[in-house]
Amino acid sequence: MDTKIEFLKGVGPAKAKLLSEELGIQTFHNLIHHFPFRYEDRSRFQTINQIHPDSENVQIKGVVERVEVVGAARKQRLTAVFRDTTGQIELIWFKGVKWMKTKLKPGIPYIVYGKPSLFQTKFSISHPEIEVMTPANEAGKKTMLPVYATTEKLKRKFIDSKAIAKLQMELIKTKGFGVPETVDEAILAQMRLIDLNTALRDIHFPPNLSAKNRALERLKFDELFFIQLKIFREKSDQKEV
């Protein structure tokens, strides 16, 4: 757990410096304890005609019909008409216009994820996540996807929430990875708590809501348990004085 983060596959010195400066992540321990602040349900899909003004993030399957660059210089933006069997919606990018234009191919099935906005009578999604639809992702994700805190500086270097999730997975898959247990097995059994390694794995990549809640219960127990031990020790030290 004390291993420097730069030695994790996919990091290196430059990313390690950014992670340390922006998030205080310097070691494997720091990374595994950088917990998600929410989760996204990617198991369900919506159709375009199901989108309404109060919709949160939506996941849609469809086809890009047309791609167009609008405006010039700093006011330039990329727009794409995205259609499914029920209607169409506009996708918009204000950054990375040239790069995105080369990635979007009309006629190819995509999966789009993002927050819809209503302007006048039309819905659009700005800077959506978009990936080519494959047999593997067409049915939806099997787990709740974690969302991590990051910064604008990290995002500019392509270290967004998705990139942090990839590092977490790489860490968990590392050969020999394991966190020493901190609570006696008898206490875990008495309190019906899961082991620490399972809790840390499931807090990042829970297979379902129940697993996430059990992981959260164990981690909260640890936090309160060691606060109580600290208070007990301080009281004991005062009595000895």
Q: Do 50 and 120 fall into the same domain?
A: yes
Specify the pLDDT at position 241: 58
Q: Do 206 and 226 fall into the same domain?
A: yes
Q: Do 218 and 169 fall into the same domain?
A: no
Please list, in sequence order, all residues whose beta carbon lies within 8 angstroms of the beta carbon of residue 74, skipping any fewer than 6 positions away: none
Q: Do 127 and 51 fall into the same domain?
A: yes
Six-digit token string for 102 = 């080369």
26-37 tens-digit pLDDT: 999 999 999 999
| Cα separation, 107 vs 62, whole angstroms | 9
- Give yes or no for residue 67 having a pLDDT over 80: yes
Q: State the pTM of this model.
A: 0.71
- Give yes or no for residue 16 having a pLDDT over 70: yes
Six-digit token string for 100 = 């995105």
Six-digit token string for 72 = 């010039």
Specify the pLDDT at position 233: 87
- Give yes or no for residue 12 having a pLDDT over 70: yes
Q: Do 123 and 109 fall into the same domain?
A: yes
Domain count, the chain: 3
Specify the pLDDT at position 240: 65
The pLDDT of 33-50, averaged and rounded, is: 91
Do the domain assignments include residue 87?
Answer: yes
- Give me Rg for the CA atoms of the chain: 23
The pLDDT of 152-177, averaged and rounded, is: 90
Do the domain assignments include residue 195?
Answer: yes
Q: Do 86 and 159 fall into the same domain?
A: no
Do the domain assignments include residue 197?
Answer: yes
Amino acid sitting at position 84: D
Q: Do 67 and 22 fall into the same domain?
A: no
Here the CATH number for the domain that contains residue 68 is 2.40.50.140
| Cα separation, 16 vs 1, whole angstroms | 15
**96: left (phi > 0), else alpha (psi -120 to 50), else beta?**
left
Do the domain assignments include residue 179?
Answer: no
User: Which secondary structure element, helix H or strand E, spans residue 128, and what is its range?
Assistant: none
Q: Do 48 and 83 fall into the same domain?
A: yes
- Give yes or no for residue 192 having a pLDDT over 90: yes
Q: Do 234 and 115 fall into the same domain?
A: no
The parent domain of residue 85 ranges over 44-132
